[in-house]
Structure 1
Amino acid sequence: MNTEMVTTKLVAGKSDFIAFAEPIKNMKEAQSFVTKIESKYPKADHAAYGYSFDVNGKQITRASDSKEPKGSAGRAILQTLQAEQMPNTAIIVIRFFSGIFLGYKNLFNTYKQVSTEVLEKLKEQKHA
């Protein structure tokens, strides 16, 4: 089965968090996916991402907080990929900031929650 991109949305502190996930095989596919989503949302305040893929039995990971506080977004996304055992997957979360600061812990947990939700949709699609 050909698995395609999935998306989900979460609202926290009146900010919209829109997550996208897609299977990837390599760095080029991951970067292309991130660029594609970023270009669709040029007015987004943040476009945090994380991805993981296998190269000769070694897991390669990359993440970006996209101007969020250090470690609050990209690390949350990567931890979710690892916890859900979803290698060869990329997630990007677009955030439209409402002006309400969530605090580091709530921000981290929100990125983790929306990442978990989008991965659940990806898993459902794989098993459909």
Structure 2
Amino acid sequence: MTWTLSAACEYQEDIRKSRFLALAAPATDAAAAQAFLAAHSDAAASHNCWAWKVGQQYRFNDDGEPGGTAGRPILAAIEGQGFDQVVVLVIRWYGGIQLGTGGLARAYGGCAVKCLQGGQRQPLIERIGLCCRCGFAEHALVRQRLLDAEALLEREEFLGDGVELHFRLPPDRREALQQQLADLSRGRIILREP
């Protein structure tokens, strides 16, 4: 099962006089991940190393640490803990003692793992985008059926002859919802991809 975070979390640790602060948060897309990094990076810190993963997209940055010692271990922590749609920032304030490449990788990756382990996990449910059109009289009933099917309503467009609803639905719920909506409307409401 793939997980995401339900809320932001943090973890702090001192390793050989260097202070490490790991911050993690859910990120639904690349823009959200980059916004989190911009808002939480500390310009006064020695290094702001990070990684994020959203579906098949991922990025990481060592921010001046030797190549492969910070960003990649953070990304490995995200993947190793089974997370997706997550961003992790590990801030380091240098304490004067060199950690070496292995020590840096263990410090950054370890802080990221502990931060993610301390966060509130929630299962990441795959959803497909669908839409349907209904009359005004059926609108409340259709919304209730969507809620019962665990659909996430994205938007509603009120038209001259009814309402078009755009939502995301777990794929295994599609057939049952289609049948319920067809029964409700005598076959007029049809689920389709936008």
What TM-score do the two structures reach when normalised by structure 2?
0.59
The two structures, once aligned, show a CA RMSD in angstroms of 1.2
Distance apart, 1:10 and its partner CA? 1.1
Corresponding residue for residue 91 of structure 2: 94
In the alignment, what sits opposite 1:10? 13
Aligned residue in 2 for 1:47: 48
Aligned to 2:63: 66
**Residues 82-125 of structure 1: CA distance to partner in whole angstroms, max 9, x if unpaired?**
11110110000000001211000011011111000000112xx2
Q: Is structure 2 residue 26 aligned with structure 1 residue 23?
A: yes
User: Percent identical across equivalent pairs?
Assistant: 28
Q: Match of 2:70, as an amino acid?
A: A
SS at match of 1:34: helix
How far did residue 26 of structure 1 move?
0.5
Structure 1, residues 36-56: CA drift from partner, whole Å, max 9, x if none?
A: 111xx22101000000002xx
The structure 1 segments of at least 4 consecutive aligned residues displaced by more than 2 Å after TM superposition are: none
Structure having the higher Rg: 2
Residue 121 (structure 2) aligns with: 126
Q: Give the 3-state SS of the residue equivalent to 2:108 in structure 1.
A: helix
Any gaps of 5 or more consecutive residues in structure 1? none
Per the alignment, in what secondary structure is the counterpart of residue 104 of structure 1?
A: helix
Measured after TM superposition, the shift of residue 3 of structure 1 is 2.2
Q: Number of matched residues?
A: 118
| Cα shift at 1:126 | 3.2
Q: Please give the alpha-carbon distance, in whole angstroms, between the structure 1 residues aligned to 2:121 and 2:71.
A: 24
Deviation (angstroms), 1:75: 0.3
